[in-house]
Amino acid sequence: MSLLVVGLSHRSAPVSVLERASLSTDAQSKLLQDTVAAEPAAEAAVLATCNRIELYADVDKFHAGVAELSTLLAQHSGVGLEELTPYLYVHYEDRAVHHFFSVACGLDSMVVGEGQILGQIKDSLGRAQELHTAGRLLNDLFQQALRVGKRAHSETGIDRAGQSLVTFGLEQLAAGEDVPVWARGKRALVIGAGSMSSLAAATLARAGVAEVVVANRTLDRAERLARILAEADGAHVSARAVPMESVPAELTRADVAVSCTGATGLVLTAESVAEAVEGRTGAPAALDEDDAPSEARPLPPVSVGNDDNCPLDLAAVQQSAVQQTGFSVIGEAAVAGMDAATLEQHAAWVDNATVDRRLAGRRGPEADAELIAALAATAAAVGRIPERRRPEQVAPLVRPQPVLFLLDLAMPRDVDAAAHRLAGVRLVDIESLSEASADAPMAADVDQVRRIVADEVAAFGAAQRAAHITPTVVALRAMAADVVAGEIARLDGRLPGLDDKHRAEITQTVKRVVDKLLHAPTVRVKQLAAEPGGAGYADALRTLFDLDQETVAAVSRAEDSTEKTSENRGPA
Residues contributing to the annotated binding site? 49-52, 109, 114-116, 120, 192-197
Burial of 264 from C-beta contacts in 10 A (0-12 / 13-18 / 19+)? exposed
Q: Contact, 372 vs 71, CB < 8 A?
A: yes
The length of the chain is 572
Crossing angle between the packed helical segments 136-155 and 445-494, to the nearest 10 degrees: 140
Handedness of CA 199, 205, 210, 211 (dihedral sign): positive
3-state secondary structure of 3: strand
| Dihedrals phi, psi of 31, to nearest 5 degrees | -60, -45
Q: Clarify whether 310 is annotated catalytic.
A: no
Q: Contact, 448 vs 156, CB < 8 A?
A: yes
Of the candidates 167, 163, 110, 173, the one whose C-alpha atom is nearest the C-alpha of residue 427 is 173
Sheet holding 256-259, edge to edge: 238-243, 211-216, 187-191, 256-259, 404-408, 425-428
| Dihedrals phi, psi of 266, to nearest 5 degrees | -70, 140
Of the candidates 150, 384, 404, the one whose C-alpha atom is nearest the C-alpha of residue 277 is 404
Of the candidates 189, 194, 199, 212, the one whose C-alpha atom is nearest the C-alpha of residue 258 is 189
Burial of 514 from C-beta contacts in 10 A (0-12 / 13-18 / 19+)? middle
The helix (H) or strand (E) run that includes residue 52 is strand 52-59
Crossing angle between the packed helical segments 62-77 and 365-381, to the nearest 10 degrees: 120
Which residue among the candidates 50, 105, 260, 310 is catalytic per the annotation? 50
Crossing angle between the packed helical segments 94-104 and 116-130, to the nearest 10 degrees: 130
- Which amino acid is present at 383? G
User: Can you tell me the distance from the alpha carbon of 131 to that of 109, in angstroms, rounded to the nearest whole number?
Assistant: 27
Of the candidates 15, 4, 34, 25, the one whose C-alpha atom is nearest the C-alpha of residue 87 is 15
Handedness of CA 70, 76, 80, 86 (dihedral sign): negative
User: Can you tell me the distance from the alpha carbon of 239 to that of 262, in angstroms, rounded to the nearest whole number?
Assistant: 23
Annotated binding site for NADP(+): 192-197
Cis before 391? omega within 30 = no
Of the candidates 526, 506, 528, 530, the one whose C-alpha atom is nearest the C-alpha of residue 518 is 526
User: Can you tell me the distance from the alpha carbon of 404 to that of 407, in angstroms, rounded to the nearest whole number?
Assistant: 10
How many CA atoms are closer than 13 Å to the CA of 108, on its beta-carbon side? 22
User: Can you tell me the distance from the alpha carbon of 436 to that of 167, in angstroms, rounded to the nearest whole number?
Assistant: 13
Residues with catalytic function: 50
